[in-house]
Amino acid sequence: MKVLVALALIVSTSAILADSVVWTERELRVLQSFNLNNLGPAPYQPSNAYADNKDAAELGKKLFFDKRLSANGEFSCASCHLPEKHFTDGKPRAVGLKATGRNTMSIVGSAHQRWFYWDGRRDSLWSQALIPFEAPEEMGSSRTEVLKQIMTDPQLSQHYRRVFGEFPKGIDSAKLPDHAGPYADKKGKDSWNRLNPMRQRKINSAYANVGKAIAAYERTLEYAPTRFDRYLDELATGKKDSNVLNSEEKSGARLFIDAAKTQCLQCHNGPTFSNGDFHNIGTGNFSGEHLDFGRVFGLQAVLLDEFNCLGPFSDAAKGQCTELRFLKRNAHVPLEGSFKTPSLRNVSETAPYFHDGSKTTLESVIKHYNVPPDRKQVGAHELRKLELSVEEEKQLESFLRTLSD
Ligand code: HEC
Ligand code: HEC
């Protein structure tokens, strides 16, 4: 053990002396675990039989950009998820028909996630896609309005039928109520409740297909290699070092994976830089304007969602819904105030940060980790004080900036 410590000292001293970095075997292994080459294709989605259907993805793309699917004709998914901003909007908290309480998440690479939204209240891209249409503060429409738009547009209706077959009998556009949906505004909810369960079910099954098409499109939005991936590729050829990264960026990478100095790796790991789980880093909002308890409600909601993997509109066999069936609360983590660990790919392009957009810069995010909030004020969380110097904070930031494509 002593020998190892001495060796590590020699290695790190030589790293400081020379301009290039000398990585240990262990460090090299950890570094390569981030390589985009290790990500592979998006995992199989048994609940969506159309996930890899190209024609469905083309339909989904049309729907994603179609403003007519909002109450006032002014919002599409792309109004908040702007392609040129890595599918975010640059705002602290999204604004649709009204102001929302959360920061817009990027959709790039989202097909690799297990749970969706900051609180994980949905278990698939397709069930997620059904929410914004009806959310009064986002697009303010309803499932019958969305279906009517599709049915009455000759192009969309033809495209839908080509992918999914005819609309269910008895729900043609003339017979559908104008504005009905269980999560819509009061008027929409009332007319939804007046429909008989049989019709509700038919409407839901056509509406689920809308989500499945959009998910097929989102699945095509893959991560692209970053400068950091290029550096890893060079190391993978057996090179000891390369100048694809400068020494500040390499020092930042070393800090990022140094479990004694920072905790980053504990939650931000693997090729997506996320463990896909929910963690409490002291960012919950337990009072004030943007009240947000995070995962604690997301966990209840995903189990109750009728569009989840185990529900009647899923294409999966029950046994295939392992994530949902074995969903357990992480007992050692305070769920109140836990949020999904976001990917750090493209992070320098997707400010502001955290679920509520409360941090404007990467610098302020790193300061949050260096000196985490006081537990007396924000309650229990998982962070410890890091004791990073100002220079080390800068190195970490420079490293994060290499993660953009
Ligand atoms: C008003 C802005 C707005 C609109 C419109 C909008 N979104 Fe979002 N989107 C958000 C916000 C904010 C979040 C995070 C919300 C939360 O966690 O509660 C989000 C989260 C998501 C996520 C989760 C990503 C992840 O990693 O968990 C996906 C996927 C997504 N949106 C797709 C869509 C689709 C598809 C549409 C159109 C049907 C859409 N969004 C419309 C603002 C918007
Ligand atoms: C205990 C788990 C955990 C650790 C340790 C951790 N993070 Fe995070 N990270 C999260 C969670 C959860 C969020 C989202 C919090 C929120 O939205 O309120 C986050 C958010 C971020 C963001 C903002 C991303 C965005 O899109 O909003 C950055 C940048 C970041 N972390 C970098 C780091 C760095 C650098 C370290 C090490 C110094 C680190 N994280 C350590 C879990 C963790």
Of ligand 1's listed atoms, the one at least distance from the Cα of 130 is: 38
Chain segment 341-360, per-residue pLDDT in tens:
999 999 999 999 999 999 99
107 pocket-lining for ligand 1 (C-beta < 6 Å): yes
pLDDT interval class at 170 (50, 70, 90): confident
pLDDT in the model for residue 272: 97
- Pocket lining: 128 vs ligand 1, CB cutoff 6 Å: yes
Question: What's the whole-number mean pLDDT along residues 238-267?
Answer: 96
Rounded distance between C-alpha atoms, residue 243 and residue 250, angstroms: 10
Does residue 391 surpass a pLDDT of 60?
A: yes
> Could you give the CA distance from residue 231 to residue 269 in angstroms, rounded to a whole number?
17
| pLDDT grade for 192, boundaries at 50, 70 and 90 | very high
User: How far is residue 158 from each of residues 150, 176, 178, 207, 348, measured CA to CA in Å?
Assistant: 9, 18, 21, 16, 41
Select from 68, 104, 221 the residue to mutate for testing ligand 1; criterion: most ligand atoms less than 8 Å from CB: 104
**Residue 13 burial (C-beta neighbours within 10 Å; 0-12, 13-18, 19+):** exposed
pLDDT at residue 338 greater than cutoff 50: yes
Instruction: Kindly state the average pLDDT of the residues 318-340.
Output: 83
Burial class (CB in 10 A: 0-12, 13-18, 19+), 135: middle
Task: Report whether residue 141 contacts ligand 1, using a CB cutoff of 6 Å.
Answer: no
Nearest to 142 by CA among 216, 62, 210, 65: 210
Distance between Cα 8 and ligand 2 center (Å): 28
pLDDT in tens, 60-116: 999 999 999 999 999 999 999 999 999 999 999 999 999 999 999 999 999 999 999
Nearest ligand for residue 218 CA: 1
Pocket test for ligand 2, best of 267, 295, 383, 392 (most atoms within 8 A of CB): 267
Report the C-alpha gap between 42 and 46 in whole angstroms.
12
Q: Which ligand is nearest to the CA of 345?
A: 2
Comparing 87-91, 215-219, 287-291, the range with the smallest average pLDDT is 287-291
